[in-house]
Structure 1
Amino acid sequence: MAPKSSVAGGLALFLLCFNLLHAVHGKGYATTGLTSAQQCRLDRIQASQPTHRIESEGGTTEIWDQKEDQFQCAGVAVIRTTIRPDSLCLPEFINAPRLAFIERGRGILGITYPGCPETYHSEGQAGSKGRRGEAQDLHQKVQRIRRGDLVAIPEGAVHWCHNDGDEELVAITVVDLNNQANQLDQRLRAFFLAGGQGQSQSGNKWGEGGDTRVNVHNIFAAFDEDILAEAYDVPTEIIRNLKRDDGRGFIVNPQKRIKVMVPEEQEKETHFEEQRRGRSSRSRRFSPSWSREGADNGLEETFCTMKMRHNMETKRESDVFSRQAGRLNLVNMNKFPILGWIDMSAERGNLLPNALYSPHWSMTDHRVVYVTGGDAHVQISGSKGQNVFDQRVSQGSVFVIPQFFVTVARAGNNGFEWVSFKTSSQPMQSPLAGYTSVFRALPLQIITNAYQISSREAEELKYNREHQTFLLSPSSK
C-alpha cells in the first residue's frame, strides 16, 4: 500500500494539473462567479432605454440602469456616448474590459498601454519647440474609427476620442464587469485623467446613488499639489491646471484644433492579417509564441501590435448570408485576436423584412443586444418553458439574452438590424431549425416518439429547412 504522503502528493499534483488545464483550455482569466446579489432572477426580461444622462460641453453620456436584473445576471454595464463634431472625449480608463460599436460618425481614437513604444510623431503647437528643439510630439499610435467599427479596450487602458468629422459620433459600449480582470466589485468605475462633473438630467449626479459610480472629479484632484509638482518636476501652476474642475464635463470643445498623426485607414492591415493567419488563433497574455525572435520587449510584440478595431460592415466576412433572409457577421478571436485577451466577442446581424432568426441558444455566453435599425418581434424561453421575453423591439432598445435561454426573432416590415455583445471570445450557438440544427442530428424515431408524431411529420421538422441555417426566409405557408 502506498504511503499516505505519496497519495496526498499525487492528489495535489493531479489537482494542480487539472487547474492548469482549466486555465489554458477554459476561461482561466475570463469570468468570475456571480455573487449572491447577482444571481440570475430572470422571470421577466424587458427591453430598456438609458436611465441616466450626463451632459458635457461637447456631448452626452447615457447609462443603462445596472440594477436591472438582466444586467446584474450578465454582469455588464451599457453606455452610449455621443460626441459632437470637433469635440474631444477626455482620457479615461475603467475597471473592466469593454467593447464599443461605432453606430454613427467617424473620429480618431487613442488607446495607450504601459510598455508600448511611442512610434508616432505629430506636430507640436505652432511656434513652439520641445526640449530637444523639435516641433514634434512623440506618442503611441492612434487609429481612425468609423461607422461599423468594433473597438476593443482592455481594462485599465487609457483611451480618448476626437470627433473630427461633420456629424455626431455615437458609440454603444458594453463593459464586462464580471470579467476576472476586474478584481473590484461588480460596479462600473471610470477614472478620468482630466475634466470634471457634467450636468446630469436624471436627477442624480454621475457617481452618486445607484450602482453606477464614477469619479466626479479627475483623479489628480485628490493629490497634494507639491507632491505632484515634484513627481512631474514642473511648477505648481501647471499642477493646478491638472486638478482644476472647470465644469465642462468629460467631453469638451478644444480651444485649438487638434492635429495628431493618423495612419492611413488601411495601413498595415495586410501585415496584421498575415500575422494573425500565420500564428495560433488563441491569444495568450505575454506568451513567448507571440514574440519575434530577438525582440527586446515581449509585450511590444503582443498587445502593442494587435489591431484594436475591426469593421463589422464588411459583407465578404459574413458567416451566414442569404439573399432571402439577410446576413450575420460574427467577430470572434479568430477574426479579431485582441478579443482573446478580453474574452469578449460580437455579432452584427441584418434580417430582411419578415425573415426569421432561427430558434437557438448560446452555449458559451450571455448576449447584450442593441437594436440599430428596423424592428422585430423577439421571444425568449426560460428553463421551465416559461416566456420571459415577448416584445417588439426597435432602434435604441437594449435587452439581454442569458446563456442557455432559447430565443427566436421575426423581423418587421422594415427589416431588423442589431449588434450583440457576447461574454466569450469563442461563442457557440445551437440552432433548433436548419441544416445545422438539433433536429437534423436526431434520429427520426427519437423525434416521432418524443413528440408523438408520424414519420412524415418528423421528416418535415428535420428537412424542411435543409438549405438554410440561423437566418430563415419567410415561409410561403
Structure 2
Amino acid sequence: MDLILASKKADKTIAEVEGLGGYYTWSSTQFPVLSQKKVAAGLLVLQPRGFAQPHYADSSKIGYVCEGECIVGLISPEDSKEEIIKIQKGDALPVTMGAVSWWYNGGNSEVTIIFLGESSDEYTPGEYCYFFLTGAAGILNGFHNEFIAQIFHMTETESEKFIKDQSSSNILIKINERTKMPDPSNKHELVFNFDSAKPNVEVKNGGVFTTLTGKNLPLLGDLGQSANRVVLEGGALFGPIFTADSSVQLSYVTKGSGCVEIVGLLGKKVLGPIVKEGELFFVPKFFPFAVRAEAGGMEFFSVITSSKQVYGQLSGGKKSIWEAASPSVLEASLNASPAVIQSFKSKIAKGAVIAPPSTI
C-alpha cells in the first residue's frame, strides 16, 4: 500500500488579501491521500476586522480555533435562523454541509482556525468546495439581471447596481469601524472548549488527551465525525493506538513538533518523520500510530470519521490490549518466560495512553 501520509504546510491559496488574512488548503496533488480517503483540510487566517463572506460548502467539517477569537454566523437551511456565536482559542465548532456561515475577527489580534473533516467526491475530492452568496465570486453574479430583478422585486436598474456593487468585493473584506456587527450569545450548545474540558487522560509531566464525540455535542452524531486534542510535554509519548471501527484520522499540529510513527500492513513502518506546527498527518483505518513530542512539546488536533471514537490501545493502562491478554497467550506469542510476562503486565498496568519522558 503506497500512501503519502504526511504533508508540509498548506500549499494552495484560495484567497489572500494583504492586511486581512487568507484561506489556504492542502491540494490533492501534494497530499493525494486526501482525495483517496475523502478527507479535507482548510486553514482560515483573519486579521482584525477581517470578514469571510457568507458561504456554504459541499461537506461537513469541524473548525478548531488555534489562536485568537472571532464571531461566527451560522444559518441552517432547515430553519433559516441565524445563530451568532463567539468562539475563542481551544474551541471546536461543527459546521454541517449546506449551512451558510460567515466569520468575523472583531478583536485586536490574528485568529487562526483549522477545518478538518470528510470531503465530497463529487467536485474536487480531497478539498472543500465553497459557494459564496456575495462578492465577486458570489452566486448572484451567475444569474441574469432579469432573474435578480424579478425574484427580489427590483427594477432592472436597481438589480444592475445591486450586482455591480458585488463585483469588486473579495471573498475576504474589511469591516468598517462604524459598522455594528451583531452581538453573539455568551454560551452556545454547538461549541466545545478543549481548554476548559475535563481530559479523558491526564498524566503528570506527560500531557493530556481530550475527546469530543456525539456524547458532548449531539450534532456530531449526525455528521458522523468526532475530534480529539493531544497536548504533550517535551519528550512525552502518545500511543500506540489504532482506530478499531474502520474510521480514519486527520491531524493538524497546532503547536510544537514531534516524531509521528505509523505502522502499516505486515509491520511495515509507513511514516516516521518529524511533523511540525502547521502540518498535517493522516492515519489510515486500523494502522497503529504513536507520537513523541520534541523538547519543546507538541499539540495536535484530530478529526475522526466516526462519531464514537473506538480505539484499540496498544500502550499501557487498564484499557490496554496487552493488559487484557492472558499471560499464557503472551508467553507463547511473545516467546517470553512467565517471569518476563509477569513483569511486563505489571508495568503495563501502571501506564496510560500517554507516557512521560523516560527517566532511565
User: What TM-score, normalized to structure 1?
Assistant: 0.70
1:441 to 304, 309, 324: 324
Shift, 1:247, TM fit: 4.4
Report if aligned partners of 2:213, 2:227 keep a CA contact under 8 Å in 1. Answer: yes
Aligned to 1:432: 314
Structure 2, unmatched stretches of 5+, are none
> What does the per-residue CA deviation read over 1:174-211, in whole Å, with 9 as the maximum and x for residues that have no partner?
24115xxx766735321001122xxxxxxxxxxxxxxx
Shift, 1:331, TM fit: 0.5
Aligned to 1:69: 32
1:235 to 136, 139, 155: 155
- CA 439–241 in structure 1, closer or farther in 2 if over 3 Å, else same: farther
Aligned to 2:276: 394
What code does the residue aligned with 1:145 have? I
Shift, 1:420, TM fit: 0.7
Q: Confirm or deny that 1:258 pairs with 2:139.
A: no
RMSD: 2.0
Report if aligned partners of 2:242, 2:289 keep a CA contact under 8 Å in 1. Answer: yes
Q: Confirm or deny that 1:171 pairs with 2:52.
A: no
Report if aligned partners of 1:220, 1:242 keep a CA contact under 8 Å in 2. Answer: no
Q: Partners in 2 of 1:402 and 1:319 — Cα distance?
A: 23
- CA 330–352 in structure 1, closer or farther in 2 if over 3 Å, else same: same
Aligned to 1:191: 131
| SS of alignment partner, residue 273 of structure 2 | strand
Report if aligned partners of 1:318, 1:330 keep a CA contact under 8 Å in 2. Answer: yes
| SS of alignment partner, residue 141 of structure 1 | strand
Shift, 1:73, TM fit: 3.2
Q: Confirm or deny that 1:322 pairs with 2:203.
A: yes
Structure 1, unmatched stretches of 5+, are 1-40, 119-139, 197-216, 270-306
Report if aligned partners of 1:382, 1:388 keep a CA contact under 8 Å in 2. Answer: yes
Q: Equivalences for 1:231-380 in 2 at 5 Å?
A: 231-244=151-164, 246-255=167-176, 257-266=178-187, 307-314=189-196, 316-364=197-245, 365-380=247-262
Q: Partners in 2 of 1:43 and 1:185 — Cα distance?
A: 19
Report if aligned partners of 2:48, 2:109 keep a CA contact under 8 Å in 1. Answer: yes
- CA 354–405 in structure 1, closer or farther in 2 if over 3 Å, else same: same
1:94 to 57, 63, 83: 57
| SS of alignment partner, residue 183 of structure 2 | coil
Identity, % of aligned positions: 22
What code does the residue aligned with 2:86 have? R
| SS of alignment partner, residue 420 of structure 1 | strand
What code does the residue aligned with 1:339 have? L
Q: Partners in 2 of 1:241 and 1:142 — Cα distance?
A: 29
| SS of alignment partner, residue 267 of structure 2 | coil
Report the structure number with the largest CA radius of gyration.
Answer: 1
Aligned to 2:347: 464
Q: Partners in 2 of 1:161 and 1:146 — Cα distance?
A: 12
What code does the residue aligned with 1:432 have? L
| SS of alignment partner, residue 56 of structure 2 | strand
> What does the per-residue CA deviation read over 1:94-137, in whole Å, with 9 as the maximum and x for residues that have no partner?
1011111111111110010134365xxxxxxxxxxxxxxxxxxx
Q: Partners in 1 of 2:104 and 2:158 — Cα distance?
A: 24
Q: Partners in 2 of 1:79 and 1:112 — Cα distance?
A: 20
Q: Partners in 1 of 2:281 and 2:158 — Cα distance?
A: 45
Aligned to 1:56: 17
Shift, 1:459, TM fit: 2.2
Equivalenced residues, count: 353
2:48 to 85, 88, 93: 85
> What does the per-residue CA deviation read over 1:340-362, in whole Å, with 9 as the maximum and x for residues that have no partner?
12111111111111111021101
What code does the residue aligned with 1:64 have? W
Aligned to 2:294: 412
| SS of alignment partner, residue 79 of structure 2 | coil
Report if aligned partners of 2:84, 2:185 keep a CA contact under 8 Å in 1. Answer: no
2:104 to 152, 159, 162: 162
Aligned to 1:9: none
| SS of alignment partner, residue 265 of structure 1 | coil
> What does the per-residue CA deviation read over 1:10-57, in whole Å, with 9 as the maximum and x for residues that have no partner?
xxxxxxxxxxxxxxxxxxxxxxxxxxxxxxx54443332211123136
Report if aligned partners of 2:198, 2:210 keep a CA contact under 8 Å in 1. Answer: yes
Report if aligned partners of 2:123, 2:129 keep a CA contact under 8 Å in 1. Answer: no
Q: Partners in 1 of 2:161 and 2:153 — Cα distance?
A: 15
Q: Partners in 2 of 1:223 and 1:452 — Cα distance?
A: 72
